[in-house]
Amino acid sequence: MKNIIFCTSVLLMVMAGAGLAQDVNPTIDYKVHNVGAFRQVVTNTGALWRQQSRYPGLIYCEFPLGSSEEHLGEAGFALAAIVKGDTLVTSSDSWDEADEMYPTDAPWDTIWVVKRGQRVDIGDPDDPYWPDYVGISDQDFVCKYSDDFYTKITGHRPMHIECIQRSMVWSFAPFNEFLILQFWITSKVDTLEEAYFAWFCDGNVGERLPGWDFALDDFSWYDETKDVAFAQDAEGGVDGLAYSPIAYKIFPPDNGGQIKTTFLWYSGWGEIASNHQELYRRLSSGEIKRNQVIPVGSQFWLTKGPYTILPGDTLLFTVVQLLGNGVKGIYKNLELAEWLINKNFAVPSPPPNPPLQVKADNHKVILTWKPDAENYHDPNRGDNVEHPFEGYRIYKSPQGYGGPWTLLAQFDKEDNFYGPNTGLKHEFIDEGLLNNFTYYYSVTSFSLPDTVLGITELESSLQENIVEVSPGPAPPETVGKVAVVPNPYLGNEDYTSYNPPWESPPPGRVWMEQDRKVQFINLPQRCTIQIFTLSGELVKVLEHNDPKRGYEEWNLVSQVGQAIASDVYLFVVKDLNNGNVQVGKFVVIK
- The beta-strand segments (E) located in 281-363 are 299-309, 314-322, 356-361
Q: What is the pTM of this model?
A: 0.79
DSSP string, 437-487: --EEEEEEEEE--BTTTTB---B--TGGGEEEE---PPPPSSSSS-EEESS
All domains in the chain, ordered by first residue? 4-342 (2.70.98.10), 356-469 (2.60.40.10), 483-589 (2.60.40.4070)
Q: Give the DSSP H/E element, type plus range, for residue 426.
A: none
Q: Residue 228: CB partners within 8 Å, gap ≥ 6?
A: 10, 222, 247, 248, 249, 322, 330, 331, 334
Strands (E), 192-233: 192-207, 218-223, 228-233
SS3 (DSSP) at 434: coil
CA distances, 32 to each of 16, 113, 337, 348, 529 (Å): 17, 10, 20, 24, 36
Q: What is the pLDDT along the chain (590 residues), one digit of tens a residue?
A: 334 444 444 433 333 334 444 578 999 999 999 999 999 999 999 999 999 999 999 899 999 998 999 999 999 999 999 999 999 999 999 888 889 999 999 999 999 999 999 999 999 999 999 999 999 999 999 999 999 999 988 889 999 999 999 999 999 888 999 999 999 999 999 999 999 999 999 999 999 988 888 999 999 999 999 999 999 999 988 888 999 999 999 888 777 788 999 999 998 766 777 788 999 999 999 999 999 999 999 999 999 999 999 999 999 998 899 999 999 999 999 999 999 999 999 989 999 999 999 999 999 999 999 999 999 999 998 898 989 999 999 999 999 888 899 999 999 999 888 999 999 999 999 999 999 999 999 999 999 999 888 888 899 999 999 999 999 999 999 999 999 999 999 999 999 999 899 998 887 777 889 999 999 999 999 999 999 999 999 999 999 999 989 999 999 999 999 999 999 999 999 999 999 999 999 999 99
Closest CA to 241 of 216, 206, 212, 208: 206
Residues 6+ apart with CB under 8 A from 510: 58, 68, 208, 209, 210
Burial bucket for residue 394 (CB in 10 Å: 0-12, 13-18, 19+): buried
Q: What is the C-alpha to C-alpha distance for residues 103 and 114, in angstroms, rounded to an integer?
A: 19
Q: Residues near 321 by Cβ (< 8 Å), separated by ≥ 6?
A: 10, 11, 12, 13, 40, 48, 61, 178, 179, 180, 181, 246, 248
The pLDDT of residue 96 is 80
CA distance 98 to 91: 7
CB 53 within 8 A of CB 102: no
Q: For residue 578, give every residue at least 6 positions away whose Cβ sits within 8 Å of its Cβ, in sequence order, or none.
A: 478
In 328-426, at which residue ranges do the beta strands (DSSP E only) sit? Answer: 356-361, 364-369, 389-397, 406-412
Widest pairwise Cα distance in the chain: 85
